[in-house]
Amino acid sequence: MTGTPPLDGMRVVELSSFVATPLGGMTLAQLGADVIRVDQIGGGPDIDRWPLAPSGRSLYWAGLNKGKRSVTVDLRSREGRELVAGLVAESGVVLTNAPPRQGLTCEELKAVRPDLVHVRLQGTRDGGNAVDYTVNAAMGFPLVTGPPGQETPVNHALPAWDVACGLYMAVGLLAAERHRLRTGEGQCLRVALYDVALATAGNLGHLAEAQLTRARPRLGNHLFGDFGRDFATADGRVMVAVLTARHWRDLVEATGVGEVAAALERAFGADFREAGDRYAYRDALGGVLGPWFSSRTCDQVGETLAKTSVLWSRYRDFAEVAAALHDEPLMGRLDQPGIGVHLAPGSPLRLGDASMPPVPAPTLGEHTDEVLRDVLSLSADRIAALRDAGTIR
């Protein structure tokens, strides 16, 4: 990225683990903030979380901490917590999902930094424990995921609530920072994983639908409320989605099923320009379109549909995606210490023509001395004494 990044000059102390909070911190770091991740000596509970590189290092940890600085402190000791409180006093911004520790609560930290912006992730609004997997189970989505007739729940492989929560945390932090710039007032902001999932289910209409009509049934790979589904091809499988009358017209013309589709309209008294009718008769329409897809390869399907407005994609596994990363402008060559050279994503945010390439994650505790020296102005002798006492490493 050329020029000054938008969050240049902002320093954030992050006390975190797992997905949501590290993702929120990394999002800020990719925009130019100096994000200092503080961990217990030896690392937090996510330090060796799978997937692992051949070296045994966590690809998960490295992937969610790109561009940050790392400090390790004995958070169980009073002196260690005082060091962290000092970092907070100098930075004025905290992002955390760590268990509350004496001396590091928002209220205690505001005593030394009254304009503190403190963003805390909770499991539930009342402070109870929850993780993506339990929140998802409580929210209904596993019971509408999977094929019709499936009796047991089907969990989604993507930790969607963690991802959404991490981005909410970043947005909330920036909103609180803007409020501080305008008024001089700090904020103790809390985000609950359960609330983010509940809000999303409500915003997408799932909860109102269940209250006013009925709970949504399982649909397999069908698109609810319009025509969308997967089709087998001669060499794979594709997903096709129709969301507008134009999409439908183009799909009918491209596949040559116009006469049959018109006959179905007359037989059913339907109008397939309407989303509701396309959805109601999705099985019949799928039966009509299926032979066109099954008689063609994915490349042939793509060559035809690329000339239309129809939304489609071939199904790929992660290995296929990884094999094509050299063609992705988001990806950059990253030499991650302890893991090696691989292609990794930069920020998906694009500021004009500027790109934000990936920056390696720190090794655990890599910047402890540097941060204590530059941020807290500790002398070399003082840092050495802290190390000898086991307070830092």
Task: Provide the annotated active-site residues.
Answer: 162
Q: Specify the pairing of strand 237-242 against strand 311-314.
A: antiparallel
- Are residues 73 and 85 in contact, defined by beta-carbon separation less than 8 angstroms? no
CA 127 and chain centroid, separation? 22
- Both tokens of 209, joined, read 């639908």
What are 122's two structure tokens? Answer: 């909770």
Sequence letter at residue 57? R
Q: Give the CA dihedral 234, 239, 245, 248, nearest 10 degrees.
A: 10
Residue 58's CB is within 10 A of a number of other CB atoms, namely 22
Number of H helices, E strands in the chain: 16, 11
CA 52 to CA 179: how far, in whole Å?
41
d(CA 134, CA 84): 31
> Residue 339 and residue 287: Cα distance in Å, rounded?
49
